[in-house]
Amino acid sequence: MTTYIKIANAKFGTVKKVISYLKQFYHEQFSPVLFFSIMIFSATGVYFNYFHPFLEAKSDELAWNNFIFLYYFLLYAIPFIGSFLLQALITGKLEHLSEPKFWFLVIFALSIFTIRSCSHIYGQFIYELVQKERLDIYWYRVIQTIFRMLIILIPITAYWFFTDRKNQPLYGFTLKNYDTRPYLIMLLVMVPLIAWASFQSDFLGTYPRGGELPGLTFGHQPDHKFFVLYEFLYGIDFIFIEFFFRGFLILAFAAIAGPSVILPMASFYVFIHFGKPLGETISSFFGGTLLGIIAYYSRSIAGGIIVHMGIAWMMEIGALLSKLYK
């Protein structure tokens, strides 16, 4: 009995630690006016993207010229810089806005994710390298996924090496203050929501990402190994999304902006979901905020990686099963 009580207390203790992060954020940073202002600001962008999709229509026309870089840069700058400015206006805290390093990091971060989003610009070059009969498009998708990871990993790691390696581990890549159990609970909470989403038309129009790869047929057993490789890389890519948003944007900015970076990061995170199901985009604000709070106070992104990868793979499995057995 004593052993059971100790185990139960340990499990509850890890959940309490996450709750303590939320309480700390509430006391240090939370303001209803600020939170709802940035939420409404983000929701306005969502509204225009989903119900007046001018930018989405124009993005295809601009895809093969240099304006696509400006388009994505502005698309991400609006929520990220806009939220910082709105926050400063509401709170009156302007100190970090006068720091040259702050603006360098803002431009650096926006540039990295803009280049990542424009990786399809290099598609023709990659396509010519990987022509493999009927699997040519497949290998293009695989290499493009790896390329997107490197776009985030290399410049941020270089920045950390020259500026922050003596101050902290590589932006959240640490198991200190980490325990798996709270994040498994989060995944369990998501199971019924994903199961419900798996029957929605907009969800099935987007997922599974690996279920309709050109040149492959899921029912063709020799193709299964290609699907498994793609789905594996698809999940691994979320490590780098977490590294960028909850690692770099939170922990590199923390020394300058403190917890003030969490809500602008969440707003930025919403805008990268444009084109995905509306429910997923809306929930990304709350999920991004929660994971940002945990990353800021724990200084680890390990839990966020577990949640992000777990949800991504569960969505793939849910959509695939729905299509196979409908």
Residue ranges of domains in the chain: 2-324
pLDDT at 7 over 50: no
CA neighbor of 234 nearest in space, from 120, 154, 142: 142
What was the pLDDT predicted at 156?
97
The count of C-alpha atoms lying within 13 angstroms of the C-alpha of 178, restricted to the half-sphere facing its C-beta, is 19
User: For residues 222 and 284, which has the higher predicted lDDT (pLDDT)?
Assistant: 284
What was the pLDDT predicted at 139?
74
- For 38-57, give one letter per residue: b (16+ CB within 10 A) or e: bbebbbebbeebeeeeeeee
pLDDT, average across residues 168-194: 86
Of how many residues is the chain composed? 326
Q: Are 251 and 173 in contact (CB under 8 A)?
A: no
The predicted-structure confidence for 127-164, as pLDDT tens digits, reads as follows: 666 555 555 667 777 888 888 899 999 999 999 999 99
Residues 125, 139, 306, 266, CA torsion sign: positive
pLDDT at 13 over 80: no
End-to-end CA distance of the chain: 47
Question: What is the share, in percent, of the chain residues with pLDDT greater than 70?
Answer: 81
C-alpha dihedral (235, 239, 242, 247), degrees to nearest 10: 180
CA neighbor of 238 nearest in space, from 308, 174, 307: 308
Q: Which residues contact 307 (CB under 8 A, 6 or more apart)?
A: 183, 186, 187, 287, 291
The predicted-structure confidence for 184-243, as pLDDT tens digits, reads as follows: 888 888 888 888 888 887 777 777 776 666 656 665 566 667 778 888 888 899 999 999
d(CA 303, CA 307): 6
Give, as one character, the DSSP assignment of residue 180. S
The predicted-structure confidence for 20-79, as pLDDT tens digits, reads as follows: 888 988 888 888 999 999 999 999 999 998 887 654 544 455 445 567 888 899 999 999
Q: Which residues contact 218 (CB under 8 A, 6 or more apart)?
A: 211, 224, 227, 320, 324
